[in-house]
Structure 1
């Protein structure tokens, strides 16, 4: 008897391989129980440094053992870093560089990141800067990292001035998105990851929005075929954009290129900093996307129904769509040092419609304040 879609055994379903082309091509493997792929991606490297957060110390032991078993002459060093954004500092990066130096890390050796988006950003930056670039393989353990940080080669750390202002473009040698790792992910963390997924729906793939709008949010779990499709679709969106514009120099025919992936991020990063990174990235992105939808409605005529769809879709999966923390003036000061700004001119990725991103340069402060009032509950 043929299995119906609901009866498919995802635990043993074939993995999906998404190829990322360009000057430094690599594969993103999506599926369940993909541990065997890590030794393949690491290859014959005799030294491997696995960077992981404190919360994953038990899992990293299994990873290190597997790497040694696949190559008995291999030396594996585990570098444990703080959890979350606390890892993304110059001090932590320096401690990793010092450890690589002590281990005699050469250009033929490999860094492996095991963790969420912050670990991926940090580990990618360490790999990009050590000897001006050594190979890195990402094993994201959160939904957010799978669809965002692990793919595309952006790396970075934070400074007092803002988030991700120091970094480098450094594409990985491979990415393993093992959905079985999401089985122990706290629900709030999985929901936060959906912020980046829904964002991809608005900027490029309306089918993502349809899937979210027609699926019971409680069914979006690690074993769900819908979640797997959402992950694969979000990664494809990012791959298509990155291949066309790796270094964020702009797209063709008026498309903002890689900047489109920053939809909602200008305000999101400002909120994260204002909250001392106490808010999850995907939560801040959801708020930021609603903000720029409100801004585009006022400044560029985005239809009200598209704005309302932002609120409804993010809220459906449990993400916030309002913010009543820091004030507008504080957030505006942070937004002015956003990476997309040019001199004194603020620039925002906005939509002309679903799937049609563009850049809005120099919106009036009146429109900015009105859009912020609409998400902060201060609108009249």
Structure 2
């Protein structure tokens, strides 16, 4: 087992990574649950994994209840949040209890937010079942739902008490979902780790093909990178954690135009957004064109969109920029962009005129 500690003082917790861990999850959750029953919130896509988790909890004498939510981004909504909170209250969940989020990023974000507001905060455990959730959303405590104006605009920082990652559950994941998660893996190399980006160039095909050693290595490396960044800037106040948003300003605009639907998965949008961020950086002289081309080549080799055209999103540049204006990280009328001086040299730029971005997007079409 690989254990990564997210060092946040009294809010610190461990991320445990090991093939086959799901079947032994009850042993890890038992010290938190005590004699109290555990509520598992999951979507219908992970019914088999839920059965494994429930069996592991029963094996250590812990009773379980289940709340099922619909799969997909549409569940990150006010209506689903209300239903989940009402169900938790009906089950008698107490402030000292722990709710388990079993599933992808949608379930993790939803349950994290529900437990943040339930009785002013109760505990939760992340058991992510997608690659994207394992390397990104399950770690760091960002929780929330989507609003009509945009993605993740309503939420709270609420750290889990424990994260349990079993790479073997990825064997049941569709290749498209694995690819989407791989985009977030590569992102850590683009931010500040060119050696890891090179590792992805050399090993990405094996990871996508199901190589267990490659997947476990990539997950552990990505989680350690995120834990380091979160520990340095838990509430995104000093600019360090903002680096994790590489590709997201462009990507969220694409997702919004796609209606936050399966037309464009979050990881696909991040890949396209990273491609656009590097292309814009190259077009404006911030980084060498060869660096942007290398990023685009990796996305294409991985079956991921490398920019606006490949994303399949049909929208005018003006409409995409309008989506960007709703970015929750905006301040003083300016939208912060994550741009790059090269691979592994990402930085935060608060001086980018949206008019320039609109002109760039017109050429990117």
**TM-score when scaled to structure 2?**
0.93
Distance in structure 2 (CA, Å) of the matches to 1:170 and 1:366: 36
Question: Aligned pair 1:197/2:185, yes or no?
Answer: yes
Partner of 2:276: 291
Equivalent residues in 2 for 1:101-140 (5 A)?
101-140=89-128
Deviation (angstroms), 1:300: 5.3
Deviation (angstroms), 1:45: 4.9
Partner of 2:253: 270
Distance in structure 1 (CA, Å) of the matches to 2:137 and 2:189: 17
Question: Aligned pair 1:48/2:31, yes or no?
Answer: no
Partner of 2:208: 220
Distance in structure 1 (CA, Å) of the matches to 2:250 and 2:70: 25
Deviations 1:161-203 (A, max 9, x none): 1000001111111111101100111111101111111111100
Conserved in 1, the CA contact under 8 Å of 2:25 and 2:56?
Answer: no
**TM-score when scaled to structure 1?**
0.89
SS of alignment partner, residue 353 of structure 1: coil
| Structure in which a larger fraction of residues adopt helix | 2
Equivalent residues in 2 for 1:1-380 (5 A)?
15-23=1-9, 24-34=11-21, 35-43=23-31, 44-71=34-61, 74-215=62-203, 217-218=205-206, 220-250=208-238, 256-277=239-260, 278-299=263-284, 301-324=286-309, 325-376=314-365
Conserved in 2, the CA contact under 8 Å of 1:125 and 1:156?
Answer: yes
Distance in structure 2 (CA, Å) of the matches to 1:221 and 1:31: 19
Alignment length (residue pairs): 355
Distance in structure 2 (CA, Å) of the matches to 1:144 and 1:56: 15
Deviations 1:260-286 (A, max 9, x none): 000010111111111012211111001
Q: Which moved more, 1:363-372 or 1:190-199?
A: 363-372
Instruction: Give the CA RMSD over aligned residues.
Output: 1.7
Conserved in 2, the CA contact under 8 Å of 1:16 and 1:31?
Answer: yes
Unaligned runs of 5+ in 2: none
Distance in structure 1 (CA, Å) of the matches to 2:76 and 2:152: 8
Deviations 1:270-308 (A, max 9, x none): 111110122111110011111111222244521212211
Unaligned runs of 5+ in 1: 1-14, 251-255
Distance in structure 2 (CA, Å) of the matches to 1:202 and 1:48: 39
Deviations 1:235-275 (A, max 9, x none): 1111110000000001xxxxx31100000101111111110
SS of alignment partner, residue 139 of structure 2: coil
Q: Which moved more, 1:207-216 or 1:174-183?
A: 207-216
SS of alignment partner, residue 341 of structure 2: strand
SS of alignment partner, residue 228 of structure 1: helix
Distance in structure 2 (CA, Å) of the matches to 1:91 and 1:75: 27
Deviation (angstroms), 1:75: 3.6
Deviations 1:48-76 (A, max 9, x none): 111101112233133223213312xx442
Partner of 1:12: none
SS of alignment partner, residue 301 of structure 1: coil
SS of alignment partner, residue 308 of structure 2: coil
Conserved in 2, the CA contact under 8 Å of 1:340 and 1:348?
Answer: no
